[in-house]
Amino acid sequence: MGQIMTDPALRLKLYKLMTLARASDDRMAKLKAQNEVAGSAFLGRGQEAFSGAAGLHLKSGDVFAPCIRDQAGRFAFGETPLDCVRTVLGRSTGPMKGRDGNIHRGNWGIGLLPFISHLGAMISPVLGVLLARRLAGRLGDSVGAASIGDGGMSAGALNEALTIAGVERLPFVLLVADNRYSYSTTSDRTYACAHLVDRAAAFGFAGHRCDGTDADACLATVGAAVAAARAGMGPQMVVADLLRLAGHGTHDDASYVPEDVRSRWGDCLPLFERTLMQQGLLSADEASRIREEARAEIEAAVEQARSEPQADPATDDWQVRSERDLVNLRAAR
Ligand SMILES: Cc1ncc(C[n+]2csc(CCOP(=O)(O)OP(=O)(O)O)c2C)c(N)n1
Ligand SMILES: [Mg+2]
């Protein structure tokens, strides 16, 4: 159980988002197995608590660059199941007009940056938005956040970007999901410090760490980090310890993860469910209703997307949808 107990409504909201993300991941894996998805499907099983907590603590006006295991954070930040499914199924109605791979999606209109790469490439664009806002005198109390994995923490682009974030003292939060693996490479082969949070000071970041299998700890720790960035206390790094409960993508069965490692780590979703039940905040009936509603919501999005046209290069105007969103954003200011 987390050190600081957040309010029950926020905790239940996180539980519902985690359930929705799990239902979405399960359905995407099935769509992939049914050969309806081009490329692999990338799942965030086991990372929903940390990811969802981040999305919930960000607010309208912030910028968020999620990674491939952040379906919970995406939903929390405002991505709809329909936008997710439309992209995964390559529909022209999707935010990327069906032209990008299933994980390379975003929505400039809500500050969700379209995904470039899992290995550190998303930090600089977030910092660019924050710097541009500061120069234009429009930063206000907005913050930027980006997700990364343990392997991505050793990428060159990330090190350059974190240096700038520290030097400029930007209101930036780096969310690090140390899920013990980078594809099949174990984390002891990707970093040599005792814990990734030890790197925070080197970049001029405040460092925080939490148990990523404990939803309450995630809510409290990410909440403190986002609040500190918002209050002008400079960049923050939050490292969550957890295990990737799936393969790198659906093409990978993760059979290289030894049984003793699997059994050492919990799954944040059932753990949170049990805590909420023990505290009388959730009944078994409510939990199954929430699960069923999540499944139905995802299924409705799948049915809707399936009825829509796929991307057609012959008729596409090749205008980037985000361009239109940017124009709308400027008009709204
Ligand atoms: C330069 C480069 N090398 C390799 C890859 C392939 N690749 C994509 S993600 C990934 C592993 C990332 O591991 P981590 O950062 O720990 O994130 P996780 O997948 O565990 O969430 C690899 C090897 C890539 N995209 N770019
Ligand atoms: Mg990893």
Distance 151 CA to ligand 1 centre (A): 6
Looking at residue 322, its pLDDT comes to 60
In angstroms, rounded to a whole number, what is the distance separating the alpha carbons of residues 321 and 207? 37
Q: pLDDT-derived band of residue 4, with 50, 70 and 90 as boundaries? A: low
Residue 141 backbone class (left: φ over 0; alpha: ψ -120 to 50; beta: rest): alpha
pLDDT digits 0-9 by tens, 296-321:
999 999 999 999 999 888 888 777 66
Looking at residue 319, its pLDDT comes to 72
If you average pLDDT over residues 42-63, what whole number do you get?
Answer: 98
Name which residue sits closest to atom 11 of ligand 1, judged by CA.
182
pLDDT digits 0-9 by tens, 148-199:
999 999 999 999 999 999 999 999 999 999 999 999 999 999 999 999 999 9
Pocket of ligand 1 (CB under 6 A): 69, 117-119, 149-152, 179, 181-183, 244, 248
Looking at residue 320, its pLDDT comes to 66
pLDDT digits 0-9 by tens, 233-270:
999 999 999 999 999 999 999 999 999 999 999 999 99
Distance 179 CA to ligand 1 centre (A): 12
Distance 182 CA to ligand 1 centre (A): 6
If you average pLDDT over residues 208-218, what whole number do you get?
Answer: 98
- Nearest ligand (C-alpha, residue 246): 1
pLDDT digits 0-9 by tens, 21-44:
999 999 999 999 999 998 899 999
Partner residues linked to 211 by β-bridges: 241
pLDDT at 6 over 50: yes
Q: pLDDT-derived band of residue 332, with 50, 70 and 90 as boundaries? A: low
For a pocket test of ligand 1, which of 47, 116, 118 has the largest count of ligand atoms closer than 8 A to its C-beta?
Answer: 118
Q: Which atom of ligand 1 is nearest to the CA of 47?
A: 21
Report whether 66 contacts 285 (CB < 8 A): no
Looking at residue 317, its pLDDT comes to 77
Which domains, from first to last, does the chain contain?
8-308 (3.40.50.970)
For a pocket test of ligand 1, which of 182, 185, 244 has the largest count of ligand atoms closer than 8 A to its C-beta?
Answer: 182
Looking at residue 102, its pLDDT comes to 84
Residue 126 CA from chain centroid, whole number: 14
User: What pTM, to 2 d.p., does this model score?
Assistant: 0.95
If you average pLDDT over residues 68-83, what whole number do you get?
Answer: 97
Dihedral angle at the C-alpha atoms of 324, 326, 327, 329, nearest 10 degrees? 120
Full 3-state SS string of the chain: CCCCCCCHHHHHHHHHHHHHHHHHHHHHHHHHHCCCCCCCCCCCCCCHHHHHHHHHHCCCCCEEECCCCCHHHHHHHCCCHHHHHHHHCCECCCCCCCCCCCCCCCEHHHCECCCCCCCCCCHHHHHHHHHHHHHCCCCCCCCEEEEEECCHHHCHHHHHHHHHHHHCCCCEEEEEEECCEECCEEHHHCCCCCCHHHHHHHHCCEEEEEECCCHHHHHHHHHHHHHHHHCCCCCEEEEEECCCCCCCCCCCCCCCCCHHHHHHCCCHHHHHHHHHHHCCCCCHHHHHHHHHHHHHHHHHHHHHHHCCCECCCCCCCCCCHHHHHHHHHHHHC
If you average pLDDT over residues 202-222, what whole number do you get?
Answer: 98
pLDDT at 1 over 50: no
Distance 146 CA to ligand 2 centre (A): 15
pLDDT at 70 over 90: yes
Distance 310 CA to ligand 2 centre (A): 32
Looking at residue 330, its pLDDT comes to 62
